[in-house]
Amino acid sequence: MACARGSLLKEIDLTKAQFLSLVEDARLLAQAHYDDDSRERLAGKNIALVFEKSSTRTRCAFEVAAHREGAHVTYLGPSGSHLGKEESIRDTARVLGRMFDGIEFRGFSQSSVEELAENAGVPVWNGLTDQWHPTQMLADIMTMIDNHDGPVEEIVYSFVGDGRNNVARSLLVTGALLGMNVRIVAPRELWPPADVVDIAETLAVDSRARILITDNISDGVDDADFVYTDMWVSMGESDEQWSSRVELLLPYRVTEQTMKLTGKPESRFMHCLPSVHDRSTALGQSVFDRFGLDGAEVTDDVFESPQSLVFEQAENRLHTIRAVLVEALGN
């Protein structure tokens, strides 16, 4: 069975027009909310939220978006259901598909979300896998468009950090899809895998995107409108990875100096969150105790600066996920 219309498993399932149309829908839905428009476009719908990993933004965005549109949600967390233990993805998909109108899935392997979509018979939305984070990309591009004068194709953005992780991969192929100027700035050991670079380069032929993958920070952030980073160790990776990541990535930490290297005083800082930017969390304290670092991938002064868009990005998760739900299931 092919996956149902309205599914979103990875960015490149969308055309450029479809991607930008979802962003535009999100803007209209955000406006409708601020205008007190209380139409319920998903009245009577039931949505399952399946999480193999932790989440704050993605879970809350799906829940609040669904509630605002009159839908009900059921949360299945990393423990408490049979999924992955007594029951396969395929069987779970066939059960949930008979009860729910749509399913969000956050997990480890991309093949899991694809298997779920192939067997559920209802739309499935990828809320992050080890490979891709497509709903994050909708929010990020919305945020970039809202903070840039001029066409999307003129936006220049640089991801600085672990270039192999889900967010970096997604930023690379999204920029390629939309014809943007996208850079991945990382030590060679952490460059995106060749198959992902191939996807981006193939998309760039038609979209005329400019792609740069470099270990040179000055070249990589020169002229960037947006400097983006993410955690140095992602969910599902072992805590032991921190030692080698700190060694590799310390020169790539986003600091005031990195922001200055863009050459654009108006350049903005982005992060999908959560972030290690101080010692206020158990992880932040542990990074300080183990490595003497106060914050990791970004310094607190950049995170808290007026240049930082991180909470606007977080809010836009809600508007864009709402657009995805309404597009797939709206009455």
230, interface contact from ligand NVA, ligand CP, none, CB < 5-8 Å by kind: ligand NVA
167 contributes a contact to ligand NVA by CB under 6 A:
yes
Note if 268 is an active site residue.
no
Exactly one of 3, 25, 130, 136 is catalytic; which is it?
A: 136
Helix (H, G, I), strand (E, B) or coil at 285: helix
- Kindly tell me which residue out of 119, 158, 166, 258 binds ligand NVA, with binding defined by CB under 6 A: 166
Helix (H, G, I), strand (E, B) or coil at 73: strand
Residues 127-156 that bind ligand NVA (CB under 6 A): 128
Exactly one of 41, 106, 169, 319 is catalytic; which is it?
A: 106
213 contributes a contact to ligand NVA by CB under 6 A:
no
- Kindly tell me which residue out of 14, 66, 178, 272 binds ligand NVA, with binding defined by CB under 6 A: 272
Binding site for ligand CP (CB under 6 A): 55-58, 128, 136, 272-273
Q: Supply the DSSP string of 229-260, one letter for each residue.
A: E--SS-TTS-TTHHHHHHHHHGGG-B-HHHHH
Min. distance of Cβ 172 from ligand CP in angstroms?
17
Segment near ligand NVA (CB under 6 A), from 114-122, 165-173, 201-209, 280-288? 165-173
Compute the distance between CA of residue 87 and CA of residue 219 in angstroms, rounded to an integer. 49
Exactly one of 133, 245, 268, 322 is catalytic; which is it?
A: 133
Min. distance of Cβ 35 from ligand CP in angstroms?
27
Exactly one of 25, 130, 225, 230 is catalytic; which is it?
A: 230
Nearest in space to 56 (alpha carbons), one of 295, 325, 323, 311: 311
321 contributes a contact to ligand NVA by CB under 6 A:
no
> Phi/psi class of residue 138: alpha, beta or left (left: φ > 0; alpha: ψ in -120 to 50)?
alpha
Compute the distance between CA of residue 246 and CA of residue 217 in angstroms, rounded to an integer. 16
Compute the distance between CA of residue 248 and CA of residue 238 in angstroms, rounded to an integer. 16
Q: Which is nearer to ligand NVA, 164 or 264 (CB)?
A: 164
**Cβ 114 vs Cβ 132: under 8 Å:** no
Note if 18 is an active site residue.
no
Compute the distance between CA of residue 108 and CA of residue 121 in angstroms, rounded to an integer. 22
56, interface contact from ligand NVA, ligand CP, none, CB < 5-8 Å by kind: ligand CP
Residues 220-249 that bind ligand NVA (CB under 6 A): 230-231, 234-235
**Cβ 83 vs Cβ 50: under 8 Å:** yes
Note if 290 is an active site residue.
no
Note if 183 is an active site residue.
no
Note if 230 is an active site residue.
yes
DSSP letter at 193 equals: P
Compute the distance between CA of residue 127 and CA of residue 132 in angstroms, rounded to an integer. 9
- What is the contact surface with ligand NVA in residues (CB under 6 A)? 128, 165-167, 230-231, 234-235, 272
> Which are the catalytic amino acids?
106, 133, 136, 230, 272, 317
